[in-house]
Chain A
Amino acid sequence: MLTVSHVMILSLVLFGIGVFGVLTRRNILIVLMSLELILNAANLNFVAFSWAHPGIQGQVFALFVICVAAGEVAVGLAILITLFRNRNSVNIDEFHLMKG
């Protein structure tokens, strides 16, 4: 039988993989995708708790998280396009304009 711990462990591992991707990859696109993994892990927790302690609020908040993720991706990809147009690169290491 499934318990909430199983779902939390899955969410934990998914979150870890996402953090690993954000920290190691140099391609901004893949960093953004790893961010999506992290948000999905968070959503999984919301849904798991909404299932374990019956109540619908967790699912409502997961819905909000999905909306915010959509906005974040739209703005992030627009920034990426502008960066690529100006610098002809999507490598994070080449963007250090704000370094003092």
Chain B
Amino acid sequence: MTEVSLPLFLLFSAVGLFGAVMVVTRTQPVHSALYLVLTLFAVAAIYVLLHAEFLAVVQILVYAGGIMVLFLFVIFLVRPPVPGERRWHGGRHVLLSAALAVILAAALAFNLVERGSRAAADAGALLAGGNMEQVSMTLFRYYILPFETVSILLLVSMIGAIALARKGEGA
């Protein structure tokens, strides 16, 4: 566990939380998508702080670059907004949902406080060698089967997405 500056972390987490709240409360899906990009970037910045540089790059490339472009394309395809959602009116289950979310968070927080956190003393082990080298070494040496499985999963979901979204005789 290496030293990480707290103010930087607080700054990025504030930005990320602001973006997350905006994602959930905006009426226009486009605005939500753009605020989600903000949140993803803030999370990527926190990854960098936590010495997961490779993951931060992947986060920006795959999430902010790939997934969000997909989202924006679909938003433009699906033009008319939901009629009941012109303005965010809170919905019918807003209190119930908020209570549920708070209870869930409280349960997790209780667990967190209860256990506390004991940091391992072995500092700098993460930094020995490049982050990317370490990730790929571990990935290809110990997790080759999950890696191949994930590639098949991606292939299947790609074929499934094409088959579903294709306009034609099969649909």
Q: Which residues of A contact B (CB under 8 A)?
A: 1-10, 12-21, 23-27, 29-30, 32-34, 36-37, 40, 43-44, 47-48, 50-57, 59-60, 62-64, 66-75, 77-82, 84-85, 88-91, 93
Total inter-chain residue pairs, C-beta < 8 Å: 252
Assess the B146–A64 pair: CB atoms within 8 A: yes
Assess the B135–A60 pair: CB atoms within 8 A: yes
Instruction: Taking A23-B96, A56-B134 as given, write out 16 further A-B residue pairs in contact, using a Cβ cutoff of 8 Å, ordered by the A residue number.
Output: A10-B16, A10-B46, A14-B20, A19-B101, A20-B24, A26-B85, A29-B32, A47-B55, A51-B50, A60-B135, A63-B58, A67-B150, A67-B154, A73-B70, A77-B161, A78-B161
Of the candidates B82, B137, B167, the one having the most CB atoms from chain A within 10 angstroms of its own CB is: B82
SS class of chain B's interface: helix, strand, loop or mixed? helix
| B1 touches which of A9, A15, A51 (Cβ 8 Å) | A51
Task: Look across to chain B and name the residue whose beta carbon is closest to the beta carbon of A53.
Answer: B120
| B23 touches which of A13, A21, A67 (Cβ 8 Å) | A21
Minimum CB–CB distance from A27 to chain B (whole Å) comes to 5
Minimum CB–CB distance from B149 to chain A (whole Å) comes to 9
Task: Look across to chain A and name the residue whose beta carbon is closest to the beta carbon of B112.
Answer: A8
Minimum CB–CB distance from A77 to chain B (whole Å) comes to 5
Assess the A7–B50 pair: CB atoms within 8 A: yes
Assess the A13–B165 pair: CB atoms within 8 A: no
Task: Look across to chain A and name the residue whose beta carbon is closest to the beta carbon of B20.
Answer: A17
Assess the A54–B125 pair: CB atoms within 8 A: yes
Tell me the bound Cα distance from A63 to B119 in angstroms. Answer: 23
Map CB proximity to A onto B105-145 as digits: 1 under 8 Å, 0 otherwise. Answer: 10011001000110110111110000100110111000100
Q: Which residues on A sit within 8 Å (CB–CB) of B105?
A: 12-13, 15-16
